[in-house]
Amino acid sequence: MPEIAIIGSGFAALTTVRELRRRGIDAPVTVISPRDELHYVPSSIWIPAGLRSADGLRLPLTRFLARHKVRFVKASVTALDAARHEITTDTGAVLRADHIVIAAGARFLKKLPGIENAIIPCEGIAAAEAIAARLPSIRKGTIAIGMATNPNEPGAIRGGPMFEYAFILDRMLRKDGRRDDVRMVFFSPSARPGQRLGERAVDRILAEMARRGIETHLGHKMVRIDPDRVVTEGGEIAADLILFQPGMTGPAWLADTGLPLSPGGMVRADEFCRVEGLEGLWVAGDSGSYPGPDWLPKQAHQADLQAKAVAANIAAQLKGKAPATRFTPELVCIMDSLDRGMLVFRRGRINLTLPALRPLHWLKRAFEHHYLRAYR
């Protein structure tokens, strides 16, 4: 019987498992990952405010994997032989599968000098805990929040959480009566950060920053991050707390696989989420570089849509049919500000933006509850 191996244990990997089983595929499935938990990072923005706890966002996968009859290998992938369909791990084990799904996520570029002096929020739940630990000590001073992209692949960016942190921290400081004494600055090499959301959304975001008194330092190339300042070609920002989201690239082990890679270091895929030119190799989520509009997002929702296409196409091949399911390019984002949320939706020619509304905050929380039911 054909075997399926999935590299990763995040959104794309687990959605692939669910969709394969939903389609009646009973082939052996192996998940390879160093982590046997799902970390629901989208809700980590609420950890500093106490709306969520770190433990509440770490979901053990033991029951989920057993329910779907999945073999779990706790290991990190170190190599992949595309011709032999063999995966090598840091335990020394070599696994072979007829279909291999690369859903290992991305890693953040850390070439900027001094980047270790900043907290990178989307690195995970621990980063949100670090922000929560630092914030109470800032009674006066400056918080600098910024984002950048991969210069070789402009779409390899996850900027939405940085806007959320700017608005959430502003709200928290106001509630504590500290906002007048804490300067906030948002910085980016882009003159209009967040352009994948659409021009109207960028206008709303920048207008909201101005309304809240969040200063902007935009359009200047970054030079370095010192312990107490952000240095750009357009000047310096002295700061007591620095949050910075760099651009993304693929997992380091991809470099020696011989897989087709994009200029930004991600696996090149077609509209069916197949690795270009290779049979039985698939990619879903942030590890891949896909055809589509220039606003194609790097976010959990898009990873889920790509995983659904992967599962549908593997199921088709196992039934002797050609892959026919294209992934849907779609951006859905509720940018939260602790008590309100701004909705951005893009699909095809549709680009909808709704202003910050209280019901959208609660919708984001309700979606989290709904999504995680499958893993509890």
User: Does residue 17 surpass a pLDDT of 90?
Assistant: yes
Residues 145-163 pLDDT 10s: 999 999 999 989 988 999 9
Residues 350-361 pLDDT 10s: 999 999 999 999
* DSSP letter string, 319-359: TT-----PPPP-EEEEEE-SS-EEEEEEETTEEEEEEEEHH
CA distance 154 to 261: 15
What's the mean pLDDT in 338-358?
Answer: 96
- How much is the average pLDDT of 233-247? 98
| Predicted confidence (pLDDT) at residue 50 exceeds the cutoff of 90 | yes
What's the CA angle centered on 12, arms 52 and 339, to 5 degrees? Answer: 30
Q: Which of 293, 282, 286, 285 lies closest to 264 in space, CA to CA?
A: 286
State the pTM of this model. 0.96
Compute the average pLDDT of residues 229-245.
Answer: 98
Domains and CATH numbers, the chain: 4-106+250-318 (3.50.50.60), 110-247 (3.50.50.60)
pLDDT at 1 over 80: no
Assign 125 to helix, strand or coil.
helix
